[in-house]
A = this chain, B = another copy of it.
Amino acid sequence: MRADARRNRGRVLEAAEAVFAEHGVGASTEEVARRAGVGIGTVFRHFPTKEALLEAVLVERMRRLADVARERVGGGEPGEAFFGFLELVVGQSATKNAFAGALAGAGVDVESAVAEVGRELWAAVEVLLARAQEAGAVRPDVGAGEVIAVLVGASRAVEYAGAGSRAAQVIFDGLRPREATG
């Protein structure tokens, strides 16, 4: 792969993330190309279809989230690491997290493309969760799947209510054991 090709691929991905977050999934590929400073042909060479581009953006975001989760496993108090991760994901950009929902709403089948990185993210969350549960900071009757679903929901709630809302805090409180408080 030539150097300029790799550079352009990155630029397109970055531009696509921004454009789709800003104007929705319906934004045209041409606008992505403009923002990236490349021609349309270049976009379609790297991502043979618009759907492939959307999937790539999603995969990229999930990979970054998985990285963040893994980083947080190492240090600090388990409960703080866990809830800190949740807050970070939601606070970073709720709009971006709603991306997968917009894809599904547009009739894009995402499952297959996201399967691998999805397992990565799942595993990372599972570790964070197990440690937090052992420390008694999270109720013991939830699994990684439920945590991720809660995360998706909290992102949507914040997107709806605005960044200043306490909705995410309330939602995360549902993950805490009954007697404890954060």
Contacts and interface: CB of A to CB of B under 8 A. Distances in A.
Interface stretch (A41-49, A66-74, A122-130, A160-168): A160-168
Contacts of A145: 161, 165
Contact of A157 (B106, B107, B152, B175): B152
Interface string A103-118: 0111100000000000
A110 B154 CA distance: 21
A167 B146 contact: yes
Nearest to A174: B174
Interface residues of A, number: 40
A146 B165 contact: yes
Interface in A138-163: 142, 145-146, 148-150, 152-161
Given A101-B105, A160-B152, A142 B170 contact: yes
For this chain, the copies found in one complex come to 2
A98 to B, nearest CB: 6
B105 A156 contact: no
7 A-B pairs closest in CB distance: A153-B157, A174-B174, A149-B167, A156-B156, A153-B153, A149-B161, A102-B105
Given A101-B102, A155-B156, 6 more contacts: A26-B26, A98-B105, A101-B156, A146-B161, A171-B174, A174-B175
